[in-house]
Structure 1
Amino acid sequence: MPTLAVNIDHVATIRQARLATFPDPLKAALVAEEAGAHGIIAHLREDRRHINDNDVERIAKETSTLFHLEMAATDEMRKIARRVKPYSVCLVPEKRKELTTEGGLAVAGRVKHFKDYVGPLQDDGIKISLFIEASSEQIDAAAEIGVEYVEIHTGHYADAEDYESRKRELEKIFVGIGYAQDLGLKVNVGHGLDYDNILSFSKIPAINEYSIGFSIIAEAVFTGLKPAVARMAALVADFSA
C-alpha cells in the first residue's frame, strides 16, 4: 500500500524570505501528520537556505510518523544524521546555485565510496535511500551499495512540455521502477509531482511512497495545509484500491 511523505522545506522557504521565526516547519509537519501524511521530509542543505539544524532536531523529536532526512553525502551531514537518527536518510545531489534538486545522484562507478559512506548510518539503524534517475546503471549500483530504498526522480516527467515527451519520460520511470523492484529494492518516487500528474502512477503496483512537497504547500496557500495534505493523501490511498 503506497503512502504519502510530505516535504515541508517550502514552509521554511517562506520563513527565510523574511528571516522570521514563522511559519514553523515543525507545526507544518504536525498538521501534515494529522491530515494523513505517513512521513515527513526535510532537506538540510549545506547552505541552510530553508531548513536549519534546529528544525531537524525538533522534527526528529516531536513528530510521530517517519522522519526522512534528505541530505548531501558529506561528512557534516552524516554527523548530523547520526546524532538526530531519522527513520531514513535520502542522499541527494546538491548544487549551491540550483533552485531545487535538478536530477538524480550519480552512484554508478562510485559504489565503494557510497558503500563506505552509508555503512555507519546503517550501523545506527537508519534506513538509506538514494535519489536516482530511472536508469538500469544507477539502479544496479544502488543495489550493489546495499541500500534498502531508491527514490526514482520524476522531475523530467513533471517538467516535460508536450505529450510525447511526457509519455517517453513516464515509460522510463515505469521500466526503472519494475527493474528496481526485481532487484529487491523498495521504490519511492518524487520530484515535481502534483495533484494532476500523479494520476499517471495510479496503476503502478508496489510503489512504496510518494514524496511530495511544493505542490502541496502551493495548494495550501488557497485551501489551508490540512485540506491540501488530505487531498493528496486521499489520491495516494486510492492507488491501492
Structure 2
Amino acid sequence: MKLGVNIDHIAVLREARKINDPSPLDAVGVCRLAGADQITIHLREDRRHIHDNDARDIINSSLLPVNLECSINPDIIDIVCALKPYRATLVPENRNEVTTEGGLDLAGNYEKIKKAIDKLKANEIEVSLFIDPSLEACNYSRMLDSDWVEFHTGSFANIYAMLYTNLRLTHHCIKELDLPRAKLHQMLDSSLEDLNIASKEAYNLGLRVAAGHGLNYNNVTEILHIKEITELNIGQSIVARSVYVGLESAIKEMILKVNK
C-alpha cells in the first residue's frame, strides 16, 4: 500500500495567521525522509491554503511524485498544465464547504471533465478522478479515459467516528444524530461493501484505485482489507498527530498502520 501525504493542513495553519510559517515546502523533505510515497496538495480556486507559488515550489523541488488536486475550472486546468505535476486529481469544489463533501458528478459534468482530462493528458499529466464508490462512477471514469480513481471515503469515516468515538455533530456526510449502534454498524458495513464492490469494478475496468478523505490511525485498517486499493491519500490526521510527535514520526506511524 502506497501512502500519499496531503500537506494542505500545514498551509491551513500558516493561513490562520497570514504569515510565512509553517511552510508546506519544508514538509516535502520530511515526508520523503519518513518514507512517504507521494506528496498530495489541493490548489483550490479560493486559494484558502495552498497558493500557486506553493504548488510551483513543491512540484519543482519534490523528489517524490506530486499529486495535485484541483477543480475542473478551465483556468485552474491551465495552471496545472503549466505546473506539470506527476498526477492531477480532479475533485468537486464548493466555496462554502469546509472540506470536500463528495465525489465528482461525472454524468452532469461529462463534457467539462472530458475536456480537462484531454488537456491534462496532452501535457503528459496522469489523471485521477475523485469519485463516490459506485458502479456508475467507475464506468463513467473508464469512459472518460481516466488513469486512476480515488474513492471518497468520507461517509465511511464519519460513520466510523459516530460508532467508535461517540461523534454526535451534524456532518456533511451524515445528517442523522444519535442513531442506534445497530443501525450504525449496518451503515458501516454497507459503506465498506460499497467500497469493496466499486474497487473491484474499477480494477476490472483497468483503472488504478486509490482512496482518501477522513482516513486516520483508527479507521484506516478497515480499508486495508480491500486489495484493489493500492494507494491512500491522508492528510489532516497526520498533520494533527504531528502536533504532538512531529511530522516525521506521525508519517512513520501511519506507514506502519497501512503496511501491516
Per the shorter chain, which TM-score range? over 0.9
Indicate yes or no: 2:249 matched with 1:227: yes
Partners in 2 of 1:203 and 1:119 — Cα distance? 33
Between 1:106-115 and 1:23-32, the stretch displaced more is 106-115
Provide structure 2 residue ranges, at least 5 long, that are not aligned to the other structure. 163-183
The whole-number CA distance in structure 2 between the counterparts of 1:73 and 1:116 is: 9
Q: Map Cα deviations across residues 165-215 of structure 1 (whole Å, 9 max, x no partner).
A: 211111111111111111110000000000111101222213221010000
Give the whole-Å Cα distance in 2 for the aligned partners of 1:100 and 1:202: 23
- What SS does the corresponding residue of 2:4 show, helix, strand or coil? strand
Amino acid at match of 1:184: G
- The one-letter amino acid paired with 2:59 is A
Percentage of matched positions with identical amino acids: 40
The residue matched to 1:208 in structure 2 has which SS? strand
Instruction: Specify the SS of the correspondent of 2:41.
Output: strand
- Which residues of structure 1 form unaligned runs of 5+? none
**How many residue pairs get matched?**
237
Query: SS at the partner of 2:46?
Result: coil
- Residue 32 of structure 1 and its aligned partner are, at CA, apart by 1.1
Larger radius of gyration: 2
| Deviation (angstroms), 1:109 | 4.6
Normalized against structure 1, the TM-score is what?
A: 0.96
For residues 109 and 249 of structure 2, the distance between their equivalents in structure 1, rounded to whole angstroms, comes to 42
Kindly report the root-mean-square deviation, in angstroms, between the aligned alpha carbons of the 2 structures: 1.0
1:50-61 equivalence runs, <5 A: 50-61=49-60
The alpha-carbon deviation at position 21 of structure 1 amounts to 0.2
Cα distance between partner residues in 1 of 2:223 and 2:52 = 34
| 1:166 equivalenced with 2:188 (yes/no) | yes
Structure 2: how far apart are the matches of 1:150 and 1:181? 10
Who is 2:258 aligned against?
A: 236
The answer as to 2:220 corresponding to 1:198 is yes
Q: Could you tell me how far apart the structure 2 residues matched to 1:110 and 1:5 are?
A: 27
Q: How does 1:62-141 map to 2 (within 5 A)?
A: 62-141=61-140
Offset of 1:131 from its aligned partner? 0.2
CA distance, structure 2, for counterparts of residue 42 and residue 193 of structure 1:
16
Aligned pair 1:15/2:14, yes or no? yes
- Stretch of structure 1 that moved more, 110-119 or 224-233: 110-119
Cα drift, residue 75 of structure 1: 1.3
Could you tell me which residue of structure 2 aligns to residue 212 of structure 1?
234
Residues 94-131 of structure 1 show CA distances to partners (whole Å, capped at 9, x for unaligned) of 01110000000110254333222211210111000000
Task: Quote the Cα distance in structure 1 between the aligned partners of 2:258 and 2:227.
Answer: 12
